[in-house]
Amino acid sequence: MSNRPFVIDFLHAGGIHLSQYDHHIVRKLSSLRGQFLDQEIYEAMLRAQDPILYEVYEVKGAEVAGELIHGITIIHPGKVGTEYFMTKGHYHLLLDTAEVYYCLQGQGSMVMETPEGDWAVEPLRPQSTLYVPPRWAHRTVNTSPSEDLVIFFVYPGNAGHDYGTIEKQGYRKLVVERDGKPEIIDNLRWLPPEKR
Ligand code: PA5
Ligand code: NI
């Protein structure tokens, strides 16, 4: 992307799109192996098809301090068993870096935790912003039965992504559907830091 000032439009034709971006990342069900609660249903779904769970459109300059990476993530509606479609989630490699999200469309939750095991689950609804402080891992969950969840994000260019820590045991909390509504439950695979 240019080092001159520039403007990007949000286009509302058949869903929200950016008028310009550098990368389009597509994550399918197969890229979240081991992350969903019901592994049997996960494997059965995957044998039938490998649906797209979410897409990221990134506007990205150099990955250095002082730069800001921004863009939109679109999480499609759906579930694996009772568990809603969600992002892989990550810590920032440079742990002391924050991120801001602005919800453009849909309904969802941001599931967060710290290396010490503190946790938070906050709602994402249109026109709300969500601040993820430094040191908090973050995962986005689409809790709508039918609508895409579309969020704008911005984070430091040198933050990087650490996926491995979360891949090992998942997040402390999961968001599932109970009686037609989202509910937060414990992840039985999760271990406190002193037991890892
Ligand atoms: O940096 C972020 O937190 C977002 O841009 C995410 O990368 C995006 O929402 C996709 O999630 P993940 O990187 O966990 O696959
Ligand atoms: Ni991030």
- C-alpha distances in Å from residue 195, one per residue of 36, 100, 171: 22, 32, 15
CB 56 within 8 A of CB 191: no
H-helix or E-strand spanning residue 167: helix 164-169
Residue 128 burial (CB count, 10 A)? 12
Q: What is the DSSP letter of 86?
A: B
- C-alpha distances in Å from residue 45, one per residue of 37, 52, 75, 168, 185: 13, 12, 18, 22, 22
Residue nearest to atom 3 of ligand 1 (CA): 138
Tokens of residue 169, six digits: 């045991």
What is the predicted pLDDT for the residue at 196? 86
What is the predicted pLDDT for the residue at 78? 98
Sign, CA torsion 91/23/88/180: positive
What is the predicted pLDDT for the residue at 39? 96
What is the predicted pLDDT for the residue at 142? 98
* Mutation pick for ligand 1 pocket among 29, 90, 124 (CB with most ligand atoms within 8 Å): 90
What is the predicted pLDDT for the residue at 50? 98
> Which amino acid, residue 153?
F
Longest dimension (CA), the chain: 51
Could you report the average pLDDT of every consecutive run of 10 residues in the chain (196 residues)?
Answer: 90 94 98 96 98 97 95 98 98 98 98 97 98 98 98 98 94 98 96 90
- Ligand 1 atom nearest residue 71's Cα: 5
**pTM summary value:** 0.97
Residue nearest to atom 13 of ligand 1 (CA): 89
Tokens of residue 173, six digits: 């909390």
Residue 131 burial (CB count, 10 A)? 11
